[in-house]
Amino acid sequence: MAKDALSGVETRAKELLALIEYHRQKYHGEDSPEISDEAYDSLIRELQHIEIEHPELKSPTTPTEVVGAPAGEAFQKVTHTVRQWSFDNVFSEEELVAWEERLLRHLEKQGHSTTSLAYVCEHKIDGLKVILEYKDGFLVRAATRGDGVIGEDVTHTASTIQDIPKNLTQPVTITVVGEAWLKESELERINEERKKEGLPLFANPRNAAAGSLRQLDETVTARRNLSYFAYDIDAYDTRTTKIVEPKTQLEELELLHKLGFVVNEHYSRCTDLSCVLKYYRMWTSKRSKMPYGVDGIVIKIDSIVLQKLLGHTAKSPRFGIAYKFPAEQATTVVEDIQLQVGRTGVLTPVAHLRPVLIAGSVVSRATLHNEDQIKRLDVRVGDTIILQKAGDVIPEVMSVVLALRPKKAKPYTFPKHVLECGGDGRIERVQGTAAYRCVSKDSDVLHRRRLYYFVSKSAFNIDGVGPRIIDLLLDNALINTYVDLFTLTTGDLEGLPSFQKKAAQNVIDAISNARKVPLRRLLVSLSIDHVGEETARIIANHFGNIAAIRTASVEMLAGVHGVGDIVAESLVSWMESNANTALLDELLIKIIVENPKRSAAGGALSGKTFVFTGTLPTLSRSEAQELVRSYGGHVTSSVSRQTDYVVAGTDPGSKAEKAQQLKVTVLDETGFKKLLDS
pTM of the model: 0.65
Q: Which pLDDT score, from 0 to 100, does residue 178 have?
A: 96
What's the pLDDT at 393?
A: 63
Q: Which of 567, 594, 621 is the last residue of a domain?
A: 594
Q: Alpha helices, DSSP H only, in 476-563?
A: 482-485, 490-494, 501-513, 519-525, 533-543, 546-551, 554-558
Residue 249 shares a structural domain with residue 311: yes
pLDDT tens-digit map of 201-238 = 887 888 888 888 888 888 888 888 999 999 999 998 87
pLDDT, average across residues 6-15: 83
**Residue 437 belongs to some domain of the structure:** no
Q: What pLDDT sits at residue 208? A: 85
Task: Examine residue 71 and state whether it is found in any structural domain, yes or no.
Answer: no
Range list of β-strands (E), 548-607: 592-594
Q: Directed axis angle between helix 669-677 and helix 621-630, to 10°? A: 20
Least confident range of 64-73, 247-256, 297-306: 64-73
Residue 1 has pLDDT above 60, yes or no: no
pLDDT for 602 beyond 60: no
Under the banding of pLDDT at 50, 70 and 90, the label for residue 651 is confident
Q: Which of 3, 14, 77, 124 is catalytic?
A: 124
Does any domain span residue 339? yes
For the stretch 410-452, pLDDT in tens is 999 888 888 878 777 888 888 777 788 888 877 888 888 899 9
Cβ contacts of 210 within 8 Å, gap of 6 or more? 31, 128
Give the alpha-carbon dihedral of 665, 670, 676, 678, to 10 degrees. -80
> pLDDT band at 2, cuts 50/70/90?
low
- Same domain for 390 and 312: no
Query: String of b and e for 447-483 (b: at least 16 CB within 10 Å)?
Result: bbbbbbbbbbeebbbbeebeeebbebbbeeebbeebb
Q: How many helices (H) and strands (E) does the chain have?
A: 25, 24
Give the helix, strand, coil percentages of the chain, each rounded to 5.
Answer: 40, 20, 40
Three-class secondary structure of residue 148 per DSSP: coil
Q: Could you please report the per-residue DSSP string of 650-666? A: BS-THHHHHHHHTT-EE
Higher pLDDT, 395 or 137: 137
Domain region containing 336? 329-429
Residue 50 lies in a domain: yes
Residues 119 and 232 in one domain: yes
pLDDT band at 6 (very low <50, low <70, confident <90, very high): low
Whether the per-residue pLDDT at 599 is higher than 60: the answer is no
> Rounded to whole angstroms, what are the CA distances from 165 to 142, 218, 256, 258?
12, 17, 11, 12
Say if residue 515's pLDDT is above 90. Answer: yes
For the residues 172-199, what does the mean pLDDT come to?
A: 90
**Counting beta carbons within 10 angstroms of the beta carbon of residue 129, is it exposed (0 to 12), middle (13 to 18) or buried (19 or more)?**
buried
What does residue 610 show for φ and ψ, rounded to 5 degrees?
A: -120, 150
Q: Give the tens place of pLDDT for each residue, 623-648.
A: 788 778 777 788 887 888 888 999 98
Least confident span in 175-189, 407-421, 567-581: 407-421
Q: Is the per-residue pLDDT at 571 higher than 90? A: yes
Helix or strand holding residue 623 (H, E): helix 621-630
Q: Can you give the pLDDT at residue 97? A: 94
Question: Do 229 and 279 belong together in one domain?
Answer: yes
More confident of the two residues 387 and 626: 387
Q: How far apart are CA 278 and CA 482, in angstroms?
A: 47
Of the candidates 289, 249, 240, 293, the one whose C-alpha atom is nearest the C-alpha of residue 269 is 249
Where does a domain end: 288, 308, 324? 324
**C-alpha closest to that of 66 among 88, 33, 49:** 88
| φ and ψ of 331, to 5 deg | -105, 145
Q: How many residues does the chain have?
A: 678
Query: Which secondary-structure segment (H or E) carries 364?
Result: strand 361-367
In a 13 Å sphere around the CA of 294, the CA atoms on its Cβ side amount to 22
Question: Same domain for 359 and 401?
Answer: yes
Q: What is the mean pLDDT of residues 580-589?
A: 91
Are residues 266 and 240 part of one domain?
A: yes
Element (H, E) at 674: helix 669-677
In percent, the amount of the chain with pLDDT more than 90 equals 36
Cα distances from 185 to residues 141, 199, 664, in angstroms, run: 29, 19, 15
104 and 220 share one domain? yes
Say if residue 138 is in the same domain as residue 248. Answer: yes
Annotate 270-290 with DSSP letters as a single string: ESSHHHHHHHHHHHHHHGGGS
pLDDT for 4 beyond 70:
no
Q: Which of these ranges, 341-350, 459-468, 569-578, 591-600, has the smallest mean pLDDT?
A: 591-600
CATH of the domain at 632: 3.40.50.10190
Indicate whether 51 and 169 sit together in one domain.
no
Contact assessment for residue 639 and residue 633, using Cβ atoms and an 8 Å cutoff: no
Q: Indicate if 213 and 139 belong to the same structural domain.
A: yes
Beta pairing, strands 645-648 & 665-667 = parallel
Average pLDDT, the chain: 86
pLDDT reported for residue 71 = 59
How many whole angstroms separate alpha carbon 44 and alpha carbon 48?
6
Closest CA to 533 of 448, 433, 446, 635: 635
Are residues 575 and 648 located together in one domain of the fold? no
Return d(Cα 309, Cα 65) in angstroms, integer.
21
Query: CA 364, CA 345: separation in Å to the nearest integer?
Result: 23
User: Residues 580-609: what's their mean pLDDT?
Assistant: 82
- 599 in a structural domain: no
User: Same domain, yes or no, for 460 and 566?
Assistant: yes
Amino acid type, 87: F
- Residue 95's CB is within 10 A of a number of other CB atoms, namely 15
Residue 25 lies in a domain: yes
CB 329 within 8 A of CB 358: yes
> What values do phi and psi take at 58, rounded to 5?
-75, 125
Q: What is the b/e burial string over 379-402, where b = at least 16 CB atoms within 10 angstroms of the residue's CB?
A: bbbbbbbbbbbbbbbebbbeebbe
Identify the domain boundary among 263, 293, 324: 324
Instruction: Check residue 3 and give its pLDDT.
Output: 59
* pLDDT tops 60 at residue 609: yes
- Does the annotation mark 124 as catalytic? yes
Residue 273 phi, psi dihedral angles, 5° rounding? -70, -25
Domain count, the chain: 5
Confidence check: pLDDT of 392 > 60: no
CB of 592 closer than 8 Å to CB of 628: no
Contact 599, 630 (CB under 8 A): yes
Closest CA to 158 of 232, 236, 84, 210: 210
| Cα–Cα distance list, 618 to 281, 624, 672 (Å) | 19, 10, 12
**What is the average pLDDT across 150-156?**
91
* Residue 434, domain member (yes or no): no
CATH number at residue 57: 1.10.287.610
Asked if residue 33 is part of any domain, the answer here is yes
Per-residue pLDDT of 17-63, as tens digits, reads 888 888 888 776 666 778 888 888 888 888 888 888 888 888 777 87
Q: How far apart are CA 534 and CA 520, in angstroms?
A: 9
Any idea what the CATH number is for the domain that residue 334 is in? 2.40.50.140
pLDDT for 31 equals 67
CATH number of the domain where residue 201 is located: 3.30.470.30
pLDDT tens-place string over residues 461-479: 999 899 999 988 888 888 8
**Separation of alpha carbons 569 and 566, rounded Å:** 5
